[in-house]
Amino acid sequence: MDISAVALIASLIVAATPILLAAIGELVVEKAGVLNLGVEGMMIIGAVVGFIAAVNTQSAFVGFVAGALAGGALSFLFAILTQYLLSNQVASGLALTLFGLGLAALLGHGYTGIKPPASPKMEFFGLSELPVLGPTVFHHDLMVYFSITLVAGVWAFLKFTRAGLVLRAVGENHDAAHALGYKVVRIRVAAILFGGACAGLGGAYLSLIRVPQWTEGMTAGAGWIALAIVVFASWKPWRIILGAYLFGGVTILQLNLQAIGVDIPVSYLSMAPYLVTIVVLVIMSADRARASLNAPASLGRIFHASN
């Protein structure tokens, strides 16, 4: 088997989409000044709940909706902890991940080895039949296009709408936003729920399309990579796509190298996505001044109105 560039690009897009969905959600959360490290937990809950719903209704669509709802529900726990009970965001995010991984394994007990209902691929009036462009651009499932639309939507929301401006302001300086009369906590809770739903959606994509089946711990760090991609993207929506597709590319390349039997043990090839994540983090963070200019200034800080 050799590596065809066209097949490679088509499959890297599929590999990148779960991370893309989770990362764009987390970007909005972080823009509001909240660091939710529970992406991994929300993703896997989305994966298992989406899978269960899809299998029982035989509808992938229902699966995706259920995955998003489950991710959102889990993130609501995080919102309660950090926004109302003023818990440390790092610890709460970790709790979310540990809890999510456990709960997912419990819920998914008995669902291993089942095939989920298929998600049809889009056909664009014959465009999908084009050579090269057809399979790479015009022949994916609906969620791929949805994820890109979502990025565009987030970009437009943050750049052009008043609500987007307010959200950025809250992330930049929550005390000032509070002094101007904006509801910091309410805005942040909304952002957290959006991030949870996106992560859940990403998880559902993983179990319904990317793999597609349910296995315990199947996210294998995808949520953490999504967090790294937000840093890589310097909190800019379009760069999330770049980052996610880059990681999709590394993953697919590594899998293909395994498949054609390159003379490197599988174990070392499997490290590649994680090592690349570290390298990318290092490169993007190295310029301290620029990194601190792009990061929301209130990121991770606890807000408590003094009166």
Partner 1 sequence: MIKLIPRNQPSKSMIALTPLIAVLLTMLVGGALFVALGKDPFAAIRMIFWDPLFGEHAFYYRGQILIKAAPLIIIALGLSFGFRAGIWNIGAEGQFIMGAICGGAVGLAAYPSDSWLLYPAMVLAGALGGMLWGLIPAFLKIRFNANEILVSLMLVYVAVNFLSGMVTGPLRNPDGFNFPESRAFQSFSAAHNPEIWAGTGIHIGVLVMLGLVVGCYVMLTRHIFGFNIRLAGQAPRAARFAGISPNRMIMICLGLSGALAGMAGLFEVTGPAGKLSTTFPLGYGFTAIIVAFLGRLHPVGIFLAGLLLAVTYVGGDIIQSQLSLPKASIQVFQGMLLFFLLAVDVLVMYRIQLLQRRVR
Partner 2 sequence: MSLISLQNLTKTYPGVIANDAVSFDIDHAEIHALLGENGAGKSTLVKMIYGLVKPDSGTITFQDKPFAPREPRAARKAGVAMVFQHFSLFEALSVAENIALGMEKPPKPAILSDQIREVSVKYGLTLDPERLVGDLSVGERQRVEIIRCLLQEPKLFIMDEPTSVLTPQEVQTLFETLRRLRDEGTSILYISHKLEEIKQLCQRATVLRGGKVVATCTPSAETAKSMAEMMVGTKLTTPQKIKPEFGQPLLRVQNLSVKSADPFGTSLVDINFTLRAGEIMGIAGVAGNGQDELMLALSGEIRTPPASVQIEGGFVGQLGPAKRRQRGLLSAPEERLGHAAAPDMTLTENVLLSAYHRQNLGRRGFIDFARAQIFAQGVIKRFDVRTPSAENSAKSLSGGNLQKFVVGREVMQNPRVFVVNQPTWGVDAAAAAAIRQSLLELAMAGAGVLVISQDLDELMEVSHSFAVLSEGRLSPPRDAEGITVEEIGLLMGGAEIA
Query: Binding residues for partner 1, per CB under 8 A?
Result: 37, 77, 80-81, 85-88, 90-92, 94-95, 98-106, 109, 216, 220-221, 224-225, 227-228, 231, 265, 267-268, 270-271, 274-275, 277-278, 281-283, 285-286, 288, 291, 304
283 binds partner 2 (CB under 8 A): no
Q: Which of 118, 176, 242, 302 is the binder for partner 2 (CB under 8 A)?
A: 176
CB 95 within 8 A of CB 208: no
Residue 201 binding: pick among partner 1, partner 2, none (C-beta 5-8 Å cut-off by kind)? none
At closest approach, how far in Å is the CB of 289 from partner 2?
5
Q: Which of 127, 133, 180, 279 is the binder for partner 2 (CB under 8 A)?
A: 180
278 binds partner 2 (CB under 8 A): no
How many Å apart are CA 262 and CA 259, to the nearest integer? Answer: 8
- The number of CA neighbours under 13 Å toward the Cβ of 113 is 2
User: What tokens does 214 get?
Assistant: 């349910």
How many Å apart are CA 141 and CA 119, to the nearest integer? Answer: 7
Handedness of CA 283, 285, 290, 295 (dihedral sign): positive
Window contacting partner 2 (CB under 8 A); options: 111-119, 141-149, 259-267, 293-301:
293-301
Q: State which residue, 44 or 143, has the beta carbon closest to partner 1.
A: 44
162 binds partner 2 (CB under 8 A): yes
Q: Look at the block and give the residue holding tokens 């088509």.
A: 10
User: What tokens does 167 get?
Assistant: 């959200």
How many angstroms separate the first and last alpha carbons of the chain?
67
181 binds partner 2 (CB under 8 A): yes
Residue 37 binding: pick among partner 1, partner 2, none (C-beta 5-8 Å cut-off by kind)? partner 1
How many Å apart are CA 11 and CA 5, to the nearest integer? Answer: 10
∠ Cα 97 154 196 (to 5°):
20
Q: State which residue, 114 or 291, has the beta carbon closest to partner 1.
A: 291
Residue 286 binding: pick among partner 1, partner 2, none (C-beta 5-8 Å cut-off by kind)? partner 1
At closest approach, how far in Å is the CB of 150 from partner 2?
24
Query: Backbone phi, then psi, for 19, in 5-degree steps?
Result: -70, -40
Distances 210 to 9, 96, 141, 143, 184 between C-alpha atoms, Å? 14, 24, 11, 11, 37
Counting every residue, how long is the chain? 307
At closest approach, how far in Å is the CB of 14 from partner 2?
36
At closest approach, how far in Å is the CB of 263 from partner 1?
13
Q: State which residue, 173 or 285, has the beta carbon closest to partner 2.
A: 173
> Which helix (H) or strand (E) is 228 found in, with range?
helix 222-232
CB 203 within 8 A of CB 43: yes
297 binds partner 2 (CB under 8 A): yes
Q: State which residue, 99 or 182, has the beta carbon closest to partner 2.
A: 182
At closest approach, how far in Å is the CB of 195 from partner 1?
17
CB 303 within 8 A of CB 174: yes
How many Å apart are CA 45 and CA 219, to the nearest integer? Answer: 10
Q: Which of 14, 105, 128, 168 is the binder for partner 2 (CB under 8 A)?
A: 168
Give the interface with partner 2 as residue ranges (CB under 8 A): 162, 165-166, 168-169, 172-173, 175-177, 179-182, 288-290, 292-293, 296-297, 307
